[in-house]
Amino acid sequence: MLGYYVDLAVRSLKRSPGLTALMILAIAFGVAASMTSYSVFRAVSGDPIPWKSAHLYVPQIDMWGQKGHRDGSSNNDPPDAMDYLDAIALMRDHRAKYQSAMYAISPSIVPPDASKHPINVGGHAVYSEFFPMTDAPFKYGSGWSSAEDTQRAAVVVLNGEINQKLFGGGNSVGKTVNIDGKDYRVVGVLDNWSPKPVFFDVVNTGGFTTGHEDVFIPFLRAIDIGMPNNGNTNCSEIPKSSGFVGLQQSTCVWISFMVELDDKAAAAAYREYLDGYARDQKQAGRFSWAPNNRLRDLHEWLDSEHVVPSDTQISLVVALGLLVVCLVNTAGLLLAKFLRRSSEIGVRRALGAPRMAIYTQFLIEAAIVGLTGGVLGLLLTWIGIHSVSWVLPKEIASLARLDIGLLLLTLLVAVVATMLAGLYPTFRASRVQPALQLKSN
């Protein structure tokens, strides 16, 4: 019976090719626009570390008080980064399972081959616990030890790409790299680690950037040798004294901070600790306001930092609107098409076909339109995803991909949506009164 209905549907669709083409095109465009936008949205709103994101938290401390809200913003949020004093205090207290202060660096690497120009690289100064906390995948070696943190050891973890450039991709653990004129021992090589968004430091990267994380060096060492911060520096007032030391003594925020906490209880305890810390600072006379801290988990943090660009969200909404219009359009056309065949339905009903049979017949017709539209839409989605780089910034466009999941979803959306659009027309068709139709002929 199914085969027969398919045959009927194809015949019916062939009878009015223009209209059929219109419905298929509408579905295809609607689905392609939504799926292309969705692929971009999915890429930027994805969880960069799904197995652990619930355990990663970003603490915020209010070290600015009244001065921090001079921009007139209504929310009472503390700064989204940390100053040196508080970051170091939190590291020293060491209350979380893992924790790391970090800041963006952009040193230059001088290749051993004197004929080559120095290379400017990107990276972060971090603590040893950064690597187990972020589950950074090592290809060779490992991170450095906490002893090396305090010794301010000249060690470096390279990422895959820079290791390829400097050492041809081989195991370079133990070899030496010249960074800003000083020698560093390679202790580990990461396996082309490039989480999107760059969740451990969205303040300085905005989440998506064309920059690379090439090198990681111990935080305290970077501070000791005065390696400058390549990220944002936000101040509520101009530092009182000059230089890097002046920055360290100021309340300017330029350090990102992340902690790993095993469960809710640990998070609550850490929150308690932060408030206690702020109270201590108040007692010591540093803060003159009540504790105003935040401890957001990674999801809340990415959300509060608006990591998903609003353009991406607006595009998705508009594209979904386009899909809805296409479906309303298809529903109207299917309605007209089905009701035109009232006499045919009348005959079938008079000959004993139950309503269910009429339902099946017309829903199959809708599904065929949906499937064809879906296949065409898939093609358009493919074209769309390959041409988003024309309209979107590179760092975001390059993330959009067409994979099996999206492929199936595209077809599914097309078929289900078209069948939904066909539901009312089919209902109307099944209500056709056989007697009336037979009489009027």
Return all residues near 328 (Cβ < 8 A) that are at least 6 apart.
421
Taking CB under 8 A as the binding criterion, the range among 29-37, 140-148, 152-160, 355-363 that sits at the site for other proteins is: 29-37
Instruction: Name the token pair of 395.
Output: 């760092």
- Determine, following the binding rule CB under 8 A, whether residue 212 of this chain makes contact with other proteins: no
Question: Smallest distance, Å, CB 227 to other proteins?
Answer: 8
Which of 293, 342 has the CB closer to other proteins?
A: 342
Based on C-alpha coordinates, what's the Rg of the chain?
A: 31
Contacting residue, 6, 19, 347, 420, with other proteins by CB under 8 A:
19
- Determine, following the binding rule CB under 8 A, whether residue 319 of this chain makes contact with other proteins: yes
Q: How far is CA 311 from the centre of its chain?
A: 14
Backbone angles phi and psi of 73, in degrees to 5: -65, 145
Instruction: Name the token pair of 430.
Output: 């099944």
Taking CB under 8 A as the binding criterion, the range among 70-78, 135-143, 185-193, 296-304 that sits at the site for other proteins is: 70-78
- Determine, following the binding rule CB under 8 A, whether residue 438 of this chain makes contact with other proteins: no
Question: Smallest distance, Å, CB 30 to other proteins?
Answer: 8
Q: What single letter denotes the amino acid at residue 249?
A: Q
Question: Smallest distance, Å, CB 207 to other proteins?
Answer: 14
Q: How far apart are CA 179 and CA 111, in angstroms?
A: 9
- Determine, following the binding rule CB under 8 A, whether residue 315 of this chain makes contact with other proteins: yes
CA distances from 108 to 17, 121, 140, 215, 228 (A): 65, 6, 23, 10, 12
Which of 158, 319 has the CB closer to other proteins?
A: 319
Query: Binding mask 340-379 vs other proteins (x if CB under 8 A, - otherwise)?
Result: x---------------------------------------
Return all residues near 414 (Cβ < 8 A) that are at least 6 apart.
27, 28, 31, 370, 371, 373, 374, 377
Q: How far apart are CA 103 and CA 86, in angstroms?
A: 14
| Residues 88/103, Cβ–Cβ less than 8 Å | no
- Determine, following the binding rule CB under 8 A, whether residue 145 of this chain makes contact with other proteins: no
Instruction: Name the token pair of 52.
Output: 């652990």
Contacting residue, 310, 356, 404, 439, with other proteins by CB under 8 A:
310
Q: Residue numbers of the site for other proteins (CB under 8 A)? A: 18-19, 22, 25-26, 29-30, 33, 66-67, 70-72, 106, 108, 110, 117-120, 180-181, 228, 235, 237-244, 246-247, 310-311, 313-315, 317-319, 321-322, 324-326, 328-329, 331-333, 335-337, 340, 390-393, 424, 428, 440-441
